[in-house]
Amino acid sequence: MRINEFTAVTTSQVVLVPYSMHHVPKYHEWMKDAEIQVLTASEPLSLDEEYAMQQTWRTDGDKLTFIVCRRLSDYRSSVTTDLDVNTRPDDSVIGTGPLVMVGDVNMFVSVDDQDDDDEGDDPTQELGLVAELEVMIAEKAQRGKGLGKASVRAFLTYVLQHQEPIVTEFFKHHQAGGGREDLEGVTSTTTKPKTIDFFAVKIGQANYKSIGLFEALGFTKVAPTVNYFGEWELRCSSHDLARVVLHRDVDPVYTEVEYIAPSGDAPILRN
């Protein structure tokens, strides 16, 4: 999606920046890791394919992603090896200083097929949308520090505050030839939602920490057993999630700032 192309999110623990071309080489190195390939159900890509994928994440109206960064000072204080201590910054933000990439957080928006069971092909029936979330802390030395939780909360705060333009971009992408099968029956007379109905995650049955993270946000399992791939699917309505993220557990440091992609080295972000 282009909605966040010029926006970064700053919090006390993490900074989220748009996935840009200068991030691709490091992201490409992450995705060579066999463990990450398993956890993300991904196949390794060539560097050229990774650049093409980055452009897909930027231009497709059903995908929204941020790169998760830590402030360089926080990163260096949390590691022990000389290699990590001497890590060079990948980005910079005015007011927070140099940043180091540690992972990503994203979502994929689609028509909720669970709403289709009894509705048939009635074009006047309002569609329901679901956003499937994924978070990855790729830097192993940065795991177990609460960064996944902080990233998800920051990401959801952004999404919940910008639902209408996100949904608008989703449908505009389809109308421009996005080619989604789940939207083939959508016409100008179809009643389109302005917000996302549900957020969903699919988590491996042994990943207890991630399950606990999302259950703490109000997500619940949709079935008594795991799916064919050994994953639990958990869901939470947009309304219930907003009560937690925007009202109960508000991050007082959450700020959105303008992001200016670099023409050469580190980008600049300004208020």
Taking only the tens place, the pLDDT of each residue in 25-63 is 999 999 999 988 888 878 889 999 999 999 999 999 999
Block residue for tokens 């994203």: 106
Block residue for tokens 């042994």: 206
| 128 closest CA partner among 119, 137, 136 | 119
Taking only the tens place, the pLDDT of each residue in 80-135 is 444 444 456 676 655 566 889 999 999 999 988 765 554 445 555 667 899 999 99
Selected residue with higher pLDDT from 256 and 181:
256
Query: CB under 8 Å to 104, separation ≥6 — which residues?
Result: 19, 27, 65, 66, 67, 68, 135, 136, 138
- Is the full-model pTM beyond 0.75? yes
pLDDT at 266 over 50: no
Residues in the chain: 271
Taking only the tens place, the pLDDT of each residue in 199-214 is 999 998 888 889 999 9
